[in-house]
Structure 1
Amino acid sequence: MEHKEETKSCCSTASTCSSKISATDQERTNDTVSLSASPPSFLAVNGIPSTEYAIQGMDCPSCAMTIEKSLKKLKGVQSVQVHFSTGKMNIAATTEPDRIMREVKRVGFGIAPTAEDQISNQPTFWQSWLPTLLSGGLLIIAFICTWLSVLPMIATILYGAVLVIGGYKPVKSAFFAIKSGSLDMNVLMSVAAIGAVCIGQWGEGATVVFLFALGNTLQQMSLERTRHSVKGLLNLVPASVWIMQGEKMIQRSVDDIAIGETIIVKAGDKIPLDGIVTTGESHVNQAPITGESQPVIKQNGDIVYAGTLNEEGLLTIQVTTTVKDTVVARMIHMVEEAQANKSPLQALVDRFANRYTPIVFGLAIIVSVVPPLVWNASWSEWFYRGLELLVIACPCALVISTPVAIVSAIGVAAKQGVLIKGGSALEAIAGLQMIALDKTGTLTEGRPHVVNTYPVAVTEAELWSIASSIEQQSSHPIALAITSYAEQHHIPQLPVTSVQTIAGKGVQACIDHQTYYVGHYGWLEEIGAPVQYITEQMQQLHDKGVSIMVVGSIERILGIITVADQVRSTASETLQQLKSAGIESTVMLTGDHERIAHQVANATGVDQYFAHLLPADKMNYIKSWQQTGKKVAMVGDGINDAPALATADIGIAMGGAGADTAIETADIVLMADHLEKLPYAINLSRQTLRIIKQNIWFSITIKCIALLFIFPGWLTLWVAVLSDTGAALLVILNSLRVLKSK
């Protein structure tokens, strides 16, 4: 029988309930620790650790390829990966860092050692725009001179200045691209501009360079917005903390705080580190971490996360992580890793572009040479058309069409408390047909609550006073549910002695020299308590699927307290939203008893349910549905869900209370246990795929139209550049619509 799910059985013993629900609570505790305990790390290659750098100035995936090929030629470089979508590079090398950075700069790109340096070292507005604006101004003056037919030599000089100012960077990048064996957009544009000059079209060449520079600048601005879609998370954690030194509060750097130290967070301040509240009570806004819309009350013993906002009272917090190991730090690392992973669609587009560009480059040479040689056509005319074909051949818009949308989607989902581990998961969730859900901790809250009270030989107040006084000596979840209820209703407590927990049965204690028992019906029957008076009532309660705690002594039965795991208030509505989102069927898989599974299924509205399942049984059900051709997701929170999560096409972990194993195995993590985020993730995925397909078709259509206009002579070189850079920019802007997703 599944360990955790049995906790809700009404025939379970008090002690069994204690141990098993405690296991669930332990999983929750372990998860909180695990989310903060593992610092971001990078794989070592041949024993050499990988170092991360931030790359600036990449506006096309081929730029990443050029950097990779250039660095691989350096001595001591074992492995290098440059991710265009995130602007990050991971390199395992014995080469000096200064040598690596010099090489990247020599190729024509900016580089910084860390993401923080990247943000602080971003080029200013004038640094980004000055060359473009200057070349644009000179081009306008040159056009005026040409139009007025005055000083043609001045116009040519101005065109030349535009070519030098605007073309220096792309020509430099083109040189290193060719040297590394790549044909990127810089190569194509540089050849087009130089070719235009060679046939005397100085104005055309200068216009090509300016439009290309303008397009690149606009693209980089838009791409940086995408790459920093989770940049706000980096700014969540304050740089300093308040601590007590003697009788005074002083500030210290957050980097200097060690695990176990006590910090103070004032009302209106952000919490700087993960920890546990030791004194104070306040509402804390956890939206940046969990996506929760409403602040959560935090008091003594509650866990708080770095980056969340203390809205009201003064909190004293015992630190449980260093600044580099907080939940927000791990979130950023997970999101950046996910953004660097390619989706199947993106990989397909990249493979197409890698083959497409050399083919069209060859066609451009054929177009330039064959007509003059075979049909004695004009060399300048067909050379010009070959240059147009080169520009049109640039696949920039096509290869940008996918990664920008995916990076945007993963970033905006993280801000909503949904961690999507890569483009593959984002793409796969759009095609789901069936969703299987665990019961405890997924469809239910995963912790017991008092359902009802049935006094027999005493008043309700007396029953609660005795039961809660005894259970206050225990720490198992059913006891906590009873004592929590007593605290909320201000039940007076009685002095107890001789407290003893009987494994598998319950708790006994003495009150006023009388021994009382709180536990399983069978235990009280065993010790000779007059349980026959509640037999009929027990049968009725048994059918309701609740855990039953009998309170009594040898002489009499005082009453019954029923406890059950509550169905999530949002579960039913969420399942309806999944239906509206196109999910064909929802299934509950649980290790709990049939009657409890039946009750939860009725309350939530799942299409089917299966009870009495072991972890392997859940996995086998997933496999059987997959064999019928279904795309299946599994949603769970426990260790016992990990096999099913790994087997499903998409594994979805309830992150806030889930076990670390489930979180590591899953493809998607719902950070705040908000099941209602699941329809949001599905709709976001489908919106992203729609945008990607729009981008791809738009890019291909623009290319085809431009190609058709080449041969009749209806296309000019600068219009070809405008169509290419314009298409790339429109694709990026269309992808940025994902950032507005609600």
Structure 2
Amino acid sequence: MKNGQTDKLSATPPATNQHEHDHDHGGMFGPNTELIFAGLCALSLAIGFGVSFAGGIPAWVSLTLYGLAYFFGGFFTAKEAIETIRQGKFEIDFLMLVAAGGAGALGEWAEGALLLALFSIGHALEHYAMNRARKSITALAGLSAKTAVVRRNGTTTEVDVSALQVGDVIIVKPNSKIAADGVVIKGTSSVNQAPITGESVPVDKQPVADGSKDLAKAKPENRVFAGTINGTAVLDVSVTKAAGDSTLARLIKLVNEAESQQSPTQQFTDRFEKWFVPAVLILVVALCFAFLVIDEPFSASFYRAMAVLVAASPCALAIATPSAVLSGVARAARDGVLIKGGRPLEDLGDLTALAFDKTGTLTIGKPTLQKVVTLSGDERALLALAAAVEGLSDHPLATAIVNGSKERLGNVVLPEAVNLKALTGRGVQAEVDNEPVFIGNKALFDEQKTLTDEVRKQAGELEASGHTVMIVRKGKVFLGILGVMDAPRPEAKQTLAALKQLGIRRMVMLTGDNQQVANAIAQQVGLTDAFGDLLPEEKVKAVDELRQQEGKVSMIGDGVNDAPAMAKSTVGIAMGAAGSDVALETADIALMGDLLDKLPFAIGLSRSARRIIRQNLIISLGMVVILIPLTILGIARIGPAVIAHEGSTLVVVFNALRLLAYKK
């Protein structure tokens, strides 16, 4: 599915498939006109039926009231039938009109009116129930601020959100909605991102370093999204996306589009109905001539045919899957999980294997100081020296050592390091207390021919456990060894354990890092397999092999360099998709926040949706299987058939709506 650009923030559902009409049934009584018409139909029927038993009142009064019932009950039914006939299709609405017309032709005006009354009431209530699911999607549009305070040419003014331009600076007041996607350039505050990412805890935001103008490289702690809620401090935000291109606008558009993406079950029901509806019409025509074979008047044969027509109309079947898909997609979106339609919703619950990228998916995505081995002196002196020297470097490993050392040391005055020299590919050199200090890998000290067997052995053990090793020597003395590693996410182990409980048999890591690192991370988080040293095309091959072994497999990554492997998998899942156009484009499912623990929720929701879809199919097909023989044999008349038929439709819809209340 390709994403387009939205020209305005809108939550209007798109046109859907042949069974999902827009149902824009407004009129003189507003959006509830259809329900009011259904009520007037039932009222006219009830009065007409009562008058027919009153003495002294002409028969035409009852007929007039039945005629009103036909008008009110058939108005929207006829409207939809005409729309579908123009498309060259015959659907349920057409079958209902034929049945009601046939009852009238037999002089059974009361039963025809009853058919239209129950059908119109059922349809009206069905649409009302479906709209409850759509409101969960439409509510996303309400997250957007309507206006923004913008600073232009030294003055501040309040403008409509649609008037914001990229580069504008907006002032976000405390406890107010953020009006546009952007980057914080002034102020520090916590922001509630739950409406977009599903994160339950507010996220601290701070301005870009040194007022940097390269906003495209801003870090997550600098970025904010439209629809999120500012905390207790004022923020100045530079707008990076217009209102129609914001993450919120794209989320609304994609969730709406998901409603029209058919699931495998929905495709099956559509194929079934394509031959079932014509077969019913043929059967009905044949039953009209039953009087030629059996001893009964034409009116009895015709009535039976109309009853079968009512019984065989697959109302519940038509709505069984769309209602569940819509409810499931809406429930997922409320928790920061974007599911792009019925196919991924159903497939997700059928997975038995998951393939994970490592960096940024199973790990936090940046190196941290994990191990400290002291060879001479004490640990605090070792860390203080390392922090002093590496503090002069801007290398990612140096940053990890400095941050990790300061966390362990607390407020300690570091020694003064000078004359830093980078030794490319090996480490760094500096001076502390007029003595040379070297911090680097084994190659650096091999080159100097100073590496001892004991240091080599301990460094090798750390490397075998997946650490990047930095050896520290001051003068001629080896002080210690520092092990740096991209650590697993805090929630990774618990998440994978939950996935195992859900029945996921294989959980595999695919990474470009070396096999030792892959093995170390796999052991820590509880993976079943780990494959390292993989190029992007080798990841694709690994996913293909996993599909052949397991049937259905999902690839979970960041949606950028893992896009080819995602495309090869049954369901591609992107992590941290908020604000990432590429992730939203490539994935079948997007976890809007950087939250790995949303996976068990999404899989559990999918399995619940699959169960409800199966239940709905059993209810809808079962009712048809029961009613057709009963009406053919004359046991069930039109009235009871309508009640059972429309009752099953409402059961199916309300069963699907249970997904809106799904608990994690």
**TM-score normalized by the length of structure 2:** 0.87
- For residues 232-631 of structure 1, what are the structure 2 equivalents within 5 Å? 232-244=139-151, 249-301=156-208, 302-368=222-288, 370-454=289-373, 463-485=382-404, 489-492=410-413, 499-508=420-429, 516-526=437-447, 534-552=455-473, 557=478, 559-628=480-549, 630-631=551-552
CA distance in 2, matches of 1:619, 1:438: 12
User: C-alpha deviations, 1:363-421, integer Å up to 9, x for none?
Assistant: 111111x2223335211111111111121222121011111111211221122222222
Change in CA separation of 1:179 and 1:644 when aligned onto 2, cut-off 3 Å: closer
CA distance in 1, matches of 2:35, 2:494: 50
Could you say what secondary structure the match of 2:99 adopts?
A: helix
Q: Counterpart amino acid of 2:234?
A: L
Other-structure match for 2:651:
730
CA distance in 2, matches of 1:122, 1:279: 52
Other-structure match for 1:137:
43
CA distance in 2, matches of 1:326, 1:694: 38
Q: Is the 8 A contact 2:11 2:138 kept in 1?
A: no
1:148 aligns with 2:59: no
Q: CA deviation at 1:313?
A: 2.3
Change in CA separation of 1:232 and 1:479 when aligned onto 2, cut-off 3 Å: farther
Q: CA deviation at 1:334?
A: 2.2
- For residues 58-77 of structure 1, what are the structure 2 equivalents within 5 Å? 62=18
Q: CA deviation at 1:482?
A: 3.2
Could you say what secondary structure the match of 1:229 adopts?
A: helix
Could you say what secondary structure the match of 2:487 adopts?
A: strand
Other-structure match for 1:101:
none
Other-structure match for 2:572:
651
Paired residues, what number? 644
Change in CA separation of 1:536 and 1:390 when aligned onto 2, cut-off 3 Å: closer
User: C-alpha deviations, 1:532-574, integer Å up to 9, x for none?
Assistant: 8844543443344222233455655554433211112222222
Q: Is the 8 A contact 1:445 1:566 kept in 2?
A: yes
Could you say what secondary structure the match of 1:582 adopts?
A: coil
Could you say what secondary structure the match of 1:313 adopts?
A: coil
1:190 aligns with 2:101: no
Q: Is the 8 A contact 1:435 1:585 kept in 2?
A: yes
Q: Counterpart amino acid of 1:296?
A: V
Q: Is the 8 A contact 2:11 2:140 kept in 1?
A: no
Could you say what secondary structure the match of 1:728 adopts?
A: helix
CA distance in 1, matches of 2:28, 2:378: 71
Change in CA separation of 1:123 and 1:442 when aligned onto 2, cut-off 3 Å: farther
Q: Is the 8 A contact 1:631 1:649 kept in 2?
A: yes
Q: Is the 8 A contact 2:100 2:113 kept in 1?
A: yes
Q: Is the 8 A contact 1:530 1:554 kept in 2?
A: no
Could you say what secondary structure the match of 1:238 adopts?
A: coil
CA distance in 2, matches of 1:575, 1:176: 50
Change in CA separation of 1:223 and 1:662 when aligned onto 2, cut-off 3 Å: closer
Q: Counterpart amino acid of 1:327?
A: T
What runs of 5+ residues in structure 2 fail to find an aligned partner? Answer: 209-221
Change in CA separation of 1:498 and 1:252 when aligned onto 2, cut-off 3 Å: farther
- For residues 17-96 of structure 1, what are the structure 2 equivalents within 5 Å? 40=5, 62=18, 84=21, 87=22
CA distance in 2, matches of 1:467, 1:568: 26
Change in CA separation of 1:136 and 1:673 when aligned onto 2, cut-off 3 Å: same
CA distance in 2, matches of 1:575, 1:457: 40
CA distance in 1, matches of 2:545, 2:35: 58
Q: Is the 8 A contact 1:427 1:689 kept in 2?
A: yes
Q: Counterpart amino acid of 1:626?
A: R
What runs of 5+ residues in structure 1 fail to find an aligned partner? Answer: 1-34, 43-51, 65-83, 88-107, 112-120
Q: Is the 8 A contact 2:627 2:641 kept in 1?
A: yes
Change in CA separation of 1:584 and 1:238 when aligned onto 2, cut-off 3 Å: same
Q: Counterpart amino acid of 2:623?
A: I
Change in CA separation of 1:740 and 1:606 when aligned onto 2, cut-off 3 Å: same
**TM-score normalized by the length of structure 1:** 0.79
Q: Is the 8 A contact 1:55 1:109 kept in 2?
A: no
CA distance in 2, matches of 1:137, 1:700: 31
Q: Is the 8 A contact 1:638 1:658 kept in 2?
A: no
Please give the root-mean-square deviation of Cα atoms over the aligned residues, in Å: 3.3
Q: Is the 8 A contact 1:401 1:731 kept in 2?
A: yes
Other-structure match for 1:200:
107
Q: Is the 8 A contact 2:337 2:590 kept in 1?
A: yes
Q: CA deviation at 1:737?
A: 0.9
Could you say what secondary structure the match of 2:139 adopts?
A: helix
Q: Counterpart amino acid of 1:134?
A: L
- State which drifts further: 123-132 or 234-243: 123-132
CA distance in 2, matches of 1:670, 1:122: 43
Q: Counterpart amino acid of 2:520?
A: Q
Q: CA deviation at 1:260?
A: 2.2
Change in CA separation of 1:553 and 1:325 when aligned onto 2, cut-off 3 Å: farther
- State which drifts further: 420-429 or 244-253: 244-253
Change in CA separation of 1:661 and 1:280 when aligned onto 2, cut-off 3 Å: closer
Q: Counterpart amino acid of 1:40?
A: Q
Q: Is the 8 A contact 2:559 2:587 kept in 1?
A: no
- State which drifts further: 140-149 or 515-524: 515-524
Q: CA deviation at 1:454?
A: 4.7
Q: CA deviation at 1:509?
A: 5.1
Q: Is the 8 A contact 2:150 2:158 kept in 1?
A: yes
CA distance in 2, matches of 1:122, 1:556: 91
CA distance in 2, matches of 1:204, 1:272: 56
Change in CA separation of 1:177 and 1:318 when aligned onto 2, cut-off 3 Å: closer
Q: CA deviation at 1:326?
A: 1.5
CA distance in 2, matches of 1:498, 1:242: 49
User: C-alpha deviations, 1:562-599, integer Å up to 9, x for none?
Assistant: 32111122222222222221222222333333332332
- State which drifts further: 270-279 or 126-135: 126-135
Q: Counterpart amino acid of 1:222?
A: A
CA distance in 2, matches of 1:483, 1:128: 68
